[in-house]
Amino acid sequence: MTRRLPRLATRLMTAQALVIAVGALTLLAATALIAPGLFHDHLAMTGEDSPAVVDHAEQAFASATAVSITLATLASLLAAGLVSWVIVRRVSRPVEDLATAAAAVAAGTYAIDVPDASFATELDDLSTAFSHMASRLSDTEISRSRLLADLAHEVRTPLATLEAYIDGLEDGVVETGPDAYATMRDQVSRLRRLSIDLREAAAAGEHALHLVLADVDVAEVAQAAVAAAEPRYQAKGVTLTYSGPDSGLDVDADRGRIAQVLANLLDNALRHTPPGESVEVATAISGSGPGRAVTVQVSDTGEGIPTDQLALVFDRFHRVDTSRSSSDGSGSGLGLTIARAIAVDHGGRLDAASAGPGRGATFTLTLPTTSGR
What integer pLDDT is reported at residue 297 of this predicted model? Answer: 95
Residue 352 has pLDDT above 80, yes or no: yes
Q: What single-letter amino acid sits at 224?
A: A
Query: Which stretch of DSSP H or E encloses residue 284?
Result: strand 278-286
Give SS3 for 366.
strand
Q: How confident is the model at residue 1 (pLDDT cuts 50, 70, 90)?
A: very low
- Domain for residue 129, yes or no? no
What's the per-residue H, E or C state across 101-137?
Answer: HHHHHHCCCCCCCCCCCCCCHHHHHHHHHHHHHHHHH
- Domain for residue 269, yes or no? yes
Q: How confident is the model at residue 315 (pLDDT cuts 50, 70, 90)?
A: confident
Give yes or no: residues 225 and 328 share one domain: yes
Lowest mean pLDDT among 104-118, 137-151, 313-327: 313-327
Q: Among 144, 146, 157, 180, which residue's Cα sits nearest to residue 332?
A: 157
Give yes or no: residues 185 and 161 share one domain: yes
Give yes or no: residues 100 and 236 share one domain: no
pLDDT higher for 249 or 310? 249
Q: Is 258 left (phi over 0), alpha (psi -120 to 50) or beta?
A: alpha
Give yes or no: residues 282 and 345 share one domain: yes
Tens-place pLDDT, residues 100-130? 777 777 777 777 777 666 666 777 777 778 7
Give yes or no: residues 171 and 221 share one domain: no
- Domain for residue 136, yes or no? no
Give yes or no: residues 226 and 335 share one domain: yes
- Domain for residue 20, yes or no? yes
**If 0-12 CB within 10 Å is exposed, 13-18 middle and 19+ buried, where does residue 360 land?**
buried
Give yes or no: residues 275 and 165 share one domain: no
Q: How confident is the model at residue 68 (pLDDT cuts 50, 70, 90)?
A: confident
Q: How confident is the model at residue 325 (pLDDT cuts 50, 70, 90)?
A: very low
Q: CA–CA separation, 320 vs 309, rounded Å? A: 7
Lowest mean pLDDT among 175-184, 254-263, 286-295: 286-295
Give yes or no: residues 197 and 232 share one domain: no
- Domain for residue 311, yes or no? yes
- Domain for residue 114, yes or no? no
Give yes or no: residues 230 and 350 share one domain: yes
Range of the domain at 76: 8-109
What integer pLDDT is reported at residue 237 of this predicted model? Answer: 94
- Domain for residue 247, yes or no? yes
Mean pLDDT of the chain: 79
Q: How confident is the model at residue 151 (pLDDT cuts 50, 70, 90)?
A: low
Residue 318 has pLDDT above 70, yes or no: no
| Final residue of a structural domain among 205, 227, 247 | 205
What integer pLDDT is reported at residue 323 of this predicted model? Answer: 43
CATH of the domain at 295: 3.30.565.10
pLDDT higher for 190 or 303? 303
Tens-place pLDDT, residues 16-66? 777 777 777 787 777 777 777 777 777 677 776 677 776 777 777 777 777
Are 31 and 65 in contact by the 8 Å Cβ rule? The answer is yes
Q: CA–CA separation, 31 vs 14, rounded Å? A: 26
Q: CA–CA separation, 99 vs 84, rounded Å? A: 22
| Final residue of a structural domain among 53, 80, 109 | 109
Please count the structural domains in the chain.
3
What integer pLDDT is reported at residue 299 of this predicted model? Answer: 94
Give yes or no: residues 165 and 91 share one domain: no
Lowest mean pLDDT among 43-47, 133-137, 232-236, 348-352: 43-47
Give SS3 for 209.
coil
Tens-place pLDDT, residues 243-290? 999 988 999 998 988 998 998 899 899 999 999 999 999 999 887 666
Q: CA–CA separation, 91 vs 120, rounded Å? A: 8
Q: CA–CA separation, 184 vs 166, rounded Å? A: 9
Give yes or no: residues 161 and 297 share one domain: no
Average pLDDT over every residue of 140-162? 72
Give yes or no: residues 252 and 156 share one domain: no
What is the crossing angle of helices 255-271 and 335-345, to 10°?
Answer: 150
- Domain for residue 259, yes or no? yes
Q: What is the DSSP string of 235-273?
A: HHT-EEEEES-SS--EEEE-HHHHHHHHHHHHHHHHHTS
Q: Report CA Rg, the chain.
A: 39
Q: How confident is the model at residue 203 (pLDDT cuts 50, 70, 90)?
A: low
- How, if at all, do strands 239-243 and 278-286 pair? parallel
pLDDT higher for 363 or 313? 363
Give SS3 for 293.
strand
Q: How confident is the model at residue 370 (pLDDT cuts 50, 70, 90)?
A: low
What integer pLDDT is reported at residue 216 of this predicted model? Answer: 92
**Angle at CA of residue 128, ends 125 and 131, nearest 5°:** 150
**% residues pLDDT > 70 (the chain):** 81
**Angle at CA of residue 314, ends 308 and 317, nearest 5°:** 100
Tens-place pLDDT, residues 225-243? 999 999 899 999 999 999 9
Give SS3 for 350.
strand
Residue 6 has pLDDT above 70, yes or no: no
